[in-house]
Amino acid sequence: MKIFALKLNQLAFLIIVFLVSLLLFLNLGKLLSDRDTIYLAIAGPTGGENTSGIEMVQGAQLYLNKLNHEGGIDGKKVRLLVYDDRNDVNIATEKATEILDSTNALAVLGHLYSSTSIAAGKIYKAGGISAISATATADEVTQDNSWYFRVIFNNRLQASFIANYAEKILKHDRASIIYSDDSYGKTLKHSFVKTFTSLGGEVKNQWAIDINADDFAAKKKQIISDLLASKKEDPGIIFCATHNSDVVDLIVQMRRKDLNYPLIGADSLGNTAFAQKFQQYAEEKTNSGYFSNGIYAVSPIIFDVANEKAQQFRNQYIQQYKQSPSWTAANYYDAAYTAVEAIKKANIDSKNLSIEQQRNKVKNALEKINNIDNSIQGLTGNLYFDRLGDFNESIHIGTFEQQKFISAFTQLQPVKNVQAISNFDTALNSGKVLSVDGKYMHKTNIVYTGIDINEIRNLDEKTSSYLVDFYLWFRYQGDIDADNIEFTNYGTDRMDSGDKLELDDPIQESAIDGVNYRVYRIKADFKEKFRFDNYPFDSQELAVRFRHINLTRKDLIYVVDVVGMRDTIAQEVINNWGKSKVFETISDWKVKKVDFFPSVTINDSTLGNPKFFGLDTNLEYSRFNTVIHIKRDVISFSIKNLLPLLFFVGVSYLLLFLPFENISIEAVSGTLLAIVFFHLSLLDSLPEGIGYVVALDYGFYVIYALIGLELLLVVIGNKPEIRNDKVAIHRLIITGRITFPVILFISAIALLINYGVINN
């Protein structure tokens, strides 16, 4: 009997050792993987004075934080090595040499300016390391340098785009140019003049400026003097082919002297940071946007029209760095993403390859990202490189309003398939399709869209439905029937029966200066497909989604009205909803974040049109989405639903403290049966036939195993050869008393870690 009792103690010890070892083993791989690190370098004006330089690092680092949190590259962390070139050509050359000779960096992100990129690029080419810029747009950056890539359009393309937009959309036949006297400004100026004059336009004036030159103040006075003299002869739209800080004071002087000529800028002006440079002036403090309102500029990304991934990036950036990102941060996020994907595809084994060989494999991997089919889905679009290493897509045009940079009412989008356009000649002659830089582009209307939620209630988990009470409004130009929409996630049962949610008459509407405005009040049930794999640690999405009934995305895009909604930053929206008690009746859930974003919904049908037979064509519609991410309040759920379970578990455990002769199989079995019924009652709140095991089930499986262990101990203890051995019975009971809580505790911790409760 002593031998049997000893085996029971050993069994209990082995169970405990096994469970503890299992937890350690799960973390062992993570501990070992931290030994190896992959390096990327980033170079730019990162010392702290230049806002764009700071955003370079922050955007790239935000992606690497996400990557490393998810396990890095094959378990290896990716670390960013930061080099400050101060936007100085000579320093950029020094830093490039340092990166090559003193680090194991596999690629370089940067530089910020075209001038520093061109200078450093010579070093990178000679030394054999790939560089990816997300901001340097001068054509020379990638010309004659196969080691340089960029995830932004070049100057030739953007200047041609601006010239076409000024002439064909804004209807200007005259233009003047203020340009920075460096490679960036000169290439912009040259391409703009060439394109604008080819369209029949006239370039009246060209002024070169150098903010670091001794005669800069005199040059500004000369420009203002020339513009004052030009009042009798219109200088036309003024193209600012400059770095953003170069023209701030010029614009202030122009506005103060009532020289209110239309302005359009290159990418350096296309972000909110440019408008904020005017904040120091008195006029701006009393009238937000006084100097910048109405200025046009191009940008690789505008957040009001950006996809869900970009909106999530924006919210994460604000949460991490306490400020809104410009396109610079978004582009360097994409640059880091592209570099990492190339490293993954390069399949580098550092043990067998020199650093030179590794860098060469990364370059080859970048060169293979050369078409839409093997592109990388970044924040700014599907990223891929042409034969020069350029990415000549994703060009948007915006305008400033109240210091915010928003999409202009008219955008130009590339035509993917000319054959898919019905009556192409008619579309071209009417101006719905334009020829820009040798490519056809759709003339697309933008509709500013806003949602203000009053209440969400009646959350039904069985049907995955909920009621939303909200205001919906549209602002747009032209006669485009923007409010002819269908809600794509309106109550499915009613949609299947033919019932559609239709808008009533607007509660308010107006038409001022060609801008139409309509607002509606809507209260209806909506439905999303809830997933309960993590129940009760689950998160769900409550959404309102709609698209135009007839017009496709080439005709119309719904964008987020960041001006009209005031707050589109997730945490600020959630705080406002808390004050308004939007979720007052849904007490068992917490709002974690909210996203407002446009997306694309696709209909791949030909609709029976013979013109589309045999063509790879899809009908793409712009869909507007409001998505609220909620997470179940585990504490509230536990208090309301799991207290009886804790009682049953406690009773089961307390049975082990009774005299053994008073512990019966019937008592333990009765507790087990009660827990089974309780388990089924909790699952009754979920939809029928969900077809998968939820997290709650695993918790109950552990409890079933514990009670099964308890039953096993009782059966063993009632064997004739053991029943009268007090020592064996004592050891048996001690085994149960120790093993029961240890297994319960370790299983609970593992469950909470696995479902992110502890990590979050």
In a domain, 493, yes or no: yes
Return the pLDDT at 494. Answer: 46
Which parts of 562-654 are beta strand (E)? 589-603, 619-632
In a domain, 20, yes or no: no
Query: Which residues, 6 or more positions from 244, have their beta carbon under 8 angstroms from its beta carbon?
Result: 265, 268, 269, 271, 273, 274, 277
- pLDDT digits 0-9 by tens, 559-608: 999 898 876 777 788 888 888 889 888 888 999 989 999 999 887 655 56
CA distance 693 to 695: 7
Average pLDDT estimate for 191-195: 97
% the chain with pLDDT above 70 = 91
Closest CA to 500 of 456, 546, 461: 546
In a domain, 159, yes or no: yes
Instruction: Report yes or no on 83 lying in a domain.
Output: yes
Q: What average pLDDT does the segment 655-680 reach?
A: 88
Contact in structure between 476 and 447 (CB atoms under 8 Å): yes
Task: Tell me the pLDDT tens digit for each residue of 364-373.
Answer: 999 999 998 9
Fill in the amino acid letter for 175. Answer: A
Same domain, 522 and 470: yes
Which domain covers residue 44, as residue numbers? Answer: 37-153+307-373
Where a domain ends, among 252, 274, 299? 299
* pLDDT higher at 302 or 492: 302
Structure tokens at 615: 């063509």
654 within some domain? yes
pLDDT tens figures, 628-659: 999 999 888 888 888 888 898 898 889 888 88
What is the tens place of the pLDDT at every residue in 14-71?
555 555 555 554 454 444 444 589 999 999 999 877 889 999 999 999 999 999 999 9
* pLDDT score recorded for residue 496: 46
Residue 95 has pLDDT above 70, yes or no: yes
Cα torsion 607, 612, 618, 620: sign = negative
pLDDT digit string (tens) for 686-741? 888 788 899 999 999 999 999 999 899 888 888 888 888 888 888 888 988 999 99
Give residue 32's pLDDT.
43
pLDDT of 180 over the 70 cut: yes
Shared domain check, 210 and 102: no
Q: Is 588 helix (H, G, I), strand (E, B) or coil?
A: coil
CA distance 710 to 731: 14
Cα 482 to Cα 148: distance, rounded to the nearest angstrom: 44
**271-310 burial code (b ≥16 CB/10 A, e <16):** bbbbbbbbeebeebeeebbbbbeebbbbbbbbbbbbbeeb
Nearest C-alpha neighbor of 737 from the set 710, 719, 704, 715: 710
pLDDT for res 4: 45
Average pLDDT, the chain: 89
List, for residues 468-477, the tens digit of each pLDDT value.
999 999 999 9
321 and 269 part of one domain: no
| pTM, rounded to two decimals | 0.85
Q: What is the CATH number of the domain that holds 506?
A: 2.70.170.10
Mean pLDDT of 509-534: 94
Could you give phi then psi for residue 84, rounded to 5 degrees? -95, 110
Rounded to whole angstroms, how far apart are CA atoms 465 and 144?
58
Q: Where are the beta strands (DSSP E) in 242-352?
A: 263-265, 296-299
- For residues 243 and 259, membership in a common domain is answered with yes
| 119 and 169 together in one domain | no
Q: Same structural domain for residues 505 and 628?
A: yes
Calculate the alpha carbon distances from 744 to 162, 653, 701, 735 in Å: 66, 11, 11, 14
Final residue of a structural domain among 269, 299, 329: 299
Residue 610 predicted with pLDDT over 90:
no
**Sign of torsion, CA 425 429 431 434?**
positive
User: By three-state DSSP, how is residue 406 classified?
Assistant: strand
Q: What letters, b where the CB count within 10 A reaches 16 and e where it falls short, cover 402-423?
A: ebbbbbbbbbbeebeeeebbee
Residue 3, pLDDT above cutoff 60: no
Predicted local confidence at residue 14, as pLDDT: 56
Main-chain phi, psi angles of 238, to 5 degrees = -100, 120
Pick the residue with more confidence: 305 or 610? 305
Q: Are residues 287 and 319 in the same domain?
A: no
The DSSP code for 271 is S
Are 346 and 252 part of one and the same domain?
no
Name the residue among 420, 421, 396 with its Cα closest to residue 406: 396
Q: Which of 373, 399, 426 is the last residue of a domain?
A: 373
Residue 22 lies in a domain: no
Q: Beta strands 296-299 and 396-401: pairing type?
A: antiparallel
Structure confidence by residue, pLDDT tens digits, 387-428: 999 998 889 999 999 999 999 999 999 888 887 787 888 888
Determine the distance from the C-alpha atom of residue 439 to the mean position of all C-alpha atoms in its chain, rounded to a whole number. 29
Q: What is the CATH number of the domain that holds 733?
A: 1.20.58.390
Cα gap 485→451, rounded to integer Å:
14
453 has pLDDT over 70: yes
Tell whether 671 and 569 lie within a shared domain.
Answer: no
For residue 607 the two structure tokens come to 């609709």
Q: Is 403 within a domain?
A: no
Distance CA 19, CA 23 (A): 7
Question: Using an 8 Å Cβ cutoff, are 453 and 472 in contact?
Answer: no
What is the number of domains present in the chain?
A: 4
CA distances from 198 to 166, 203, 262, 305 (A): 13, 11, 21, 31
Are 628 and 649 members of one domain? no
The CATH number of residue 102's host domain is 3.40.50.2300
Distances (CA, A) of 326 to 43, 566, 593: 18, 18, 21
Q: Are residues 226 and 362 in the same domain?
A: no
Please report whether residue 28 resides in a domain. no
Please check whether residues 695 and 660 belong to one and the same domain: yes
